[in-house]
A = this chain, B = another copy of it.
Amino acid sequence: MSRRPQTDLAVLGALSVEPMTGYALRAAIVSTLGHFWSESFGQIYPALARLEADGLVAKDDGRFTITAAGRTRLRDLLRTPVERTPPRNGLLLRLFFGSTLGEEACLDLLRDAADEAQATLATLASIRTEVEAEPDHPDKRWFLVTIAAGEATARAQARWARESLESLSPGMA
């Protein structure tokens, strides 16, 4: 699946929760989907224009609203196979050439990675608290599943970075 359908998926999905302006949509994507998805303004507005032309969303009182056809399309898009993004991990690319980069710089990279993972965990913990406090939103359990995914990855990253530091410079961590 090319990228465009996935942008449509994110946009229609967000609008299926509630009608929004394009600006608010962008904010919702950053704040709510931000831990596993991103779209830039340059993508969102053209996408909205396209979806509107196709009758999948309609502008109602300044806000974009998903139509019945839009909900059908959303359901279809959700069933398309998950697209595998090619991996591109700049941290590992640098560590791989560690002997050229130099040991100290590598240790710095690992410390940064550990800090970053900790920060992510803190953010996710506060999001989790918020979501758990909510009354029974129909998607609450799914929200929690995606939060758990982020937590699992961040914990794994933090642990890997700490253990690597320890194995590379024992006692210096």
Residues of A within 8 A of B (CB): 6, 9-10, 13, 16, 33-38, 71, 74-75, 78-79, 82-101, 105-106, 109, 112, 138-139, 141-143, 145-146, 148-149, 152-153, 155-157, 159-160, 163-164, 168
Copies in the complex: 2
Tell whether, in the assembled complex, residue A87 and residue B36 are in contact, meaning their CB atoms are under 8 Å apart. yes
A141-B168, A160-B148, A168-B145 as given contacts; A94 in contact with B78, CB under 8 Å: yes
A36-B93, A78-B105, A157-B153 as given contacts; A138 in contact with B99, CB under 8 Å: yes
A-B residue pairs, 5 tightest by C-beta? A98-B142, A156-B156, A36-B92, A38-B86, A36-B89
Contacts of A164 in B (CB 8 A): 145, 148-149
Least CB separation from A163: chain B residue: B148
Tell whether, in the assembled complex, residue A90 and residue B86 are in contact, meaning their CB atoms are under 8 Å apart. no
A42 to B86, CA, bound (A): 15
Contacts of A143 in B (CB 8 A): 96
Contacts of A82 in B (CB 8 A): 90-91, 94, 109, 112
Nearest CB in chain B: distance from A27 CB, A: 16
Tell whether, in the assembled complex, residue A152 and residue B145 are in contact, meaning their CB atoms are under 8 Å apart. no
Contacts of A99 in B (CB 8 A): 138-139, 142
Contacts of A155 in B (CB 8 A): 156
Tell whether, in the assembled complex, residue B159 and residue A152 are in contact, meaning their CB atoms are under 8 Å apart. yes
Q: Indicate which residue in B38, B90, B92 contacts A87 across the interface (CB closer than 8 Å).
A: B38
A105 to B77, CA, bound (A): 12
Contacts of A83 in B (CB 8 A): 90
